[in-house]
Structure 1
Amino acid sequence: MYDNMAGSRLGQWLCLVVCILILLKAEGASIPITIVDSAVSSGALCLDGSPPGYHFEKGSGSGIDNWLVHMEGGGWCESVESCVSRRDTFRGSSLKMEKTMGFSGILGSKQAANPDFYNWNRIKIRYCDGSSFTGDVEAVDPETKLYFRGGRVWQAVIDELLAKGMQNARNAILSGCSAGGLAAILHCDKFQSLLPATARVKCVSDAGYFIHGTDISGGSRIESFFGQVVKTHESAKNLPASCTSKMNPELCFFPQYVAQTMRTPLFIINSAYDSWQIKNILAPTAVDSKKEWKDCKLDLKKCSASQLQTVQDYRTQFLKAVNTGLGSSSTRGLWIDSCYAHCQSGSASTWLGDKSTEVGDTKMGKAVGDWFYDRSAFEKIDCPYPCNPTCVSVDSES
């Protein structure tokens, strides 16, 4: 009897495990990494010299010929020293990346949570170069053994996806978050040019609209920082020629200048109080020597009255940069909220959840879907902080 009971319990346990695994697979929680081995021959390598990788969940049904390519974020390295510090992490090496990954939000596989894109071919390109996929330095330093090849990495992954069926795309989106959101802007027109002329192709940038802003000292440290990124990675050759033909390459790392010359429709998801920008563009540690902004940068509720006014002035800078960049184009889309957040499209809870943030009574997942399929235009800018009671706190770079 004991053996029978034990066997029955074991059977129930195995059944439970199988059910859980099936559920996880159905939710896209175990999507394996694909390493682009063919990239080695073209020198399209991560900082440490390992080949790049991506996660790919195939489309089905009506989405079989639709492609959503999302680029991971994770900041930048602007010098040899800072690139060495990330070389042996998952930000610089495919050898350190997770072998499987779950998809959610804009990449989610549940129809109810992502009705417009759930059954598309969905890809997340892993970020391992530190230049928003723009670098291309031929020489490899024999001492540091760093490869500055982000532009080649992007092209190698896209070439592999084209060969897997993306060359026949009917609908396609290039998207990304943070540094990946910037990459979605920088590579948008090139992406469109590689796909069929008959395809509907658009780009979505989440928390990637980094502005050429003024910091609390009256300077612009972000300009010198981006300038160093462009110089270190020799990014100029991979920045949009429509911009670099008119201004210095380092300025063409800023979306507000690139967007002015773009041909492909662009949707901006961003907070006017983006937490990364407040911490690193408005009040970077280097100019906050007395750490007077330390508490304020952690939580806007802890800002003094004068600090909060400075934050509100930054919102004005941000909105001006958006209008300068995108103008009054009929193809642009805007979902600009007033939450203290960074990267909001990668989670089901913020994309189209029951309690997701709303702007103009609309959740971002619906706004992007309506805009992409031309069901309705969407250009909504939230009221000033702290007016929005639906805000969800998010601070990630996925």
Structure 2
Amino acid sequence: MKWFLLRVLSLWSLALIDMSRSENGFEELIAEEIYPSYFDEEAVFPGANSLMVPLTLIPGAVSKGAVCLDGTPPGYHLHRGFGSGANNWVIHLEGGGWCNNIRTCVFRKTTRRGSSKFMEKQLNFTGILSNKPAENPDFYNWNRVRVRYCDGASFAGEGQDEVNQLYFRGQRIWSAVMEELMSQGMQNAIQALLSGCSAGGLASILHCDEFKALFPETTKVKCLSDAGLFLDSLNVAGGRTLRDMYAGVVTLQGVQKNLPSSCTSQKDPTSCFFPQNLVSNVKTPMFLLNAAYDAWQVDQSLIPSSADPHGLWHDCKVDRLRCNSSQIKFFQDFRDQMLNAVKIFSWSNQNGLFINSCFAHCQSELQDTWYGNDSPRVGNKAVAVSVGDWFFDRSTVKAIDCPYPCDKTCHDMVLK
């Protein structure tokens, strides 16, 4: 019953997004993330033994200009480690889409994705942030931090719009939060993992080497990007929905000055916001966790309503069993693009991969997809076990699933 209600709520959240988009007459709300940012199982149905962690704002950040879109201070949730994990840290960057023009950024600053005024005062820590060994075997007793996302450019913007009172300060937020956490004990870390989901997964790629540079060489530092492998792909109408939107994010929010020079010296700034053009040049060990048929990209980048005005893809989108052979081939081609994008990245023994053939998005945050009796598996290993094996060098992890529909362990999202 719990799972059924969750799915109903996720569909309802999608309906709200569609209504908001049509009433305001613009498609740019594609920049807002869908599930699990609006609803996830533990947020809607926190259990009796849930770990609720309070929000901490950084007042000193305001004087440094490190502010959310509306000028309010950024924040984070920290649950202290204990025992053998007391000097180890997991920093998890929250996701939540992007805003790509004045209209969407003005809207965003009235939400928790653009203002700390609207952020939840407590968040439930599950998945990679759980404090229970049965739920999070390798990281349960580490210092675990969820960094709130309120800039709309994957913690990478620098600028402002005075007319509309918008502050594009993602890079400064990143710096202020890291400075705060170092003062809270992270400077003494023996081991540290930077992770992130979706737009936060992109941020973990963008900031991975910066994170490593915070620590002495003796600290073991690695990065995890969950559902952050956004591809510069054609939609079903032959357009480039995500590239068009990213171009707005990069230009409006002044992201280009904070992109890696290893990329911008060869490609245009928008291309350098796409992870496929970044991951091979990240020097710090990195793990890419992604669904081969990433549900957010399927819904918002590959088959947005603007690219399918007559609904020819609707039945296939909501139920893969109703796809024809050419539609299945379209999905398989997308998977091929993803595998090709990580080919050079995967050559390095220090890097890890877990790409399962699911229609999912963000698998490290929810308990049922991170580590559980029926959680997704590749080669009989759950996500948490694979990430742990890679981080602690227990084994090399290059887990690439066979193509859809071979995987019967998926927890696929319900699309509308």
Per the TM superposition, whether the score is higher than 0.5 is yes
Instruction: Select 1:192's aligned residue among 212, 226, 235.
Output: 212
- Provide the rounded CA distance (Å) in 2 between the counterparts of 1:369 and 1:394: 25
Deviation at 1:25, TM superposition (A): 11
1:377 matched to which residue of 2? 396
1:119 matched to 2:138: no
Judge conservation of contact 1:27–1:109 (CA < 8 Å) in 2: no
Deviation at 1:248, TM superposition (A): 1.5
State the SS of the aligned residue for 2:166.
coil
Deviation at 1:175, TM superposition (A): 0.5
Amino acid paired to 2:348: S
CA shift in 2, pair 1:291/1:172, >3 Å: same
- TM score, norm. by length of structure 2: 0.86
- Provide the rounded CA distance (Å) in 1 between the counterparts of 2:216 and 2:247: 34
Judge conservation of contact 2:292–2:357 (CA < 8 Å) in 1: yes
Instruction: Select 2:358's aligned residue among 309, 334, 339.
Output: 339
1:154 matched to 2:174: yes
- Provide the rounded CA distance (Å) in 2 between the counterparts of 1:25 and 1:291: 39
2:369 matched to which residue of 1? 350
Judge conservation of contact 1:27–1:110 (CA < 8 Å) in 2: no
Report the RMSD for the aligned CA atoms in angstroms: 1.7
2:326 matched to which residue of 1? 306
1:64 matched to 2:52: no
- TM score, norm. by length of structure 1: 0.90
Instruction: Select 2:261's aligned residue among 241, 257, 260.
Output: 241
- Provide the rounded CA distance (Å) in 1 between the counterparts of 2:403 and 2:60: 49
Amino acid paired to 1:362: K
Written as runs of structure 1 = structure 2, the 5 A alignment for 1:382-393 is 382-393=401-412
1:221 matched to 2:263: no
- Provide the rounded CA distance (Å) in 2 between the counterparts of 1:299 and 1:92: 34
Amino acid paired to 1:332: N
- Provide the rounded CA distance (Å) in 1 between the counterparts of 2:189 and 2:276: 29
State the SS of the aligned residue for 1:133.
coil
2:29 matched to which residue of 1? none
Instruction: Select 2:162's aligned residue among 127, 132, 141.
Output: 141
Judge conservation of contact 1:47–1:92 (CA < 8 Å) in 2: yes
State the SS of the aligned residue for 1:369.
helix
Structure 2, unpaired ranges of 5+? 1-45
Structure 1, unpaired ranges of 5+? 1-23
Deviation at 1:28, TM superposition (A): 5.4
Judge conservation of contact 2:346–2:352 (CA < 8 Å) in 1: no
Deviation at 1:224, TM superposition (A): 2.1
Equivalenced residue count is 370
Deviation at 1:328, TM superposition (A): 0.6
- Provide the rounded CA distance (Å) in 2 between the counterparts of 1:327 and 1:372: 15
Written as runs of structure 1 = structure 2, the 5 A alignment for 1:280-291 is 280-291=300-311
1:17 matched to which residue of 2? none
State the SS of the aligned residue for 1:270.
strand
Judge conservation of contact 1:68–1:174 (CA < 8 Å) in 2: yes
CA shift in 2, pair 1:68/1:101, >3 Å: same
Judge conservation of contact 1:31–1:56 (CA < 8 Å) in 2: yes
Deviation at 1:298, TM superposition (A): 2.6
1:132 matched to 2:154: yes
Identity percentage of aligned residues: 51
- Provide the rounded CA distance (Å) in 2 between the counterparts of 1:226 and 1:395: 25
Instruction: Select 1:55's aligned residue among 31, 53, 77.
Output: 77
